[in-house]
Structure 1
Amino acid sequence: MIHSVKVHFAEQDINDLKEISATLERVLNHPDETQARRLMTLEDIVSGYSNVLISLADSHGKTVVSLPRCA
């Protein structure tokens, strides 16, 4: 029984991550939006999940943004 519950939650986590990943790709690759607007959209997406952290880096490895932002 415990194994079944663990498998269920693992599968749910994988599905959530796939959905988040696809959404992030769509937002980041949306050519009609400014970078500021895309970042606001990302913040909105991440705020809906209590256990998701996102860090975006530029081509030099420098962190551009980390979400959620810490106060």
Structure 2
Amino acid sequence: MSDHEQTRNPLHGLTLERLLTDLVNHYGWDGLAQRIALRCFEQNPSIASSLKVLRKTPWAREKVEGLYLYTLRESRRQSR
């Protein structure tokens, strides 16, 4: 990816921890578990345990990133 493409990428420069924290703040653990079916979001959820799972499970990380992007788009659409 070129530098220009990276600067247009809304995930550029954001850590997985930041994405997850923002999603938990927005939806809560219950809301997050409803949107992405992962045990780490349902049973004794924590940022640390969820990060371990997401770092080892590429499909789950993609779902978290997708939900983050969706949430970002919806927030921007509502603020117009």
User: Of the two, which has the highest radius of gyration?
Assistant: 1
TM-score, normalised via structure 2 length: 0.29
Structure with the higher fraction of residues in strand conformation = 1
Structure with the higher fraction of residues in helix conformation = 2
Higher normalized contact order (CA 8 Å, seq sep 6+, divided by chain length) = 2
TM-score, normalised via structure 1 length: 0.31
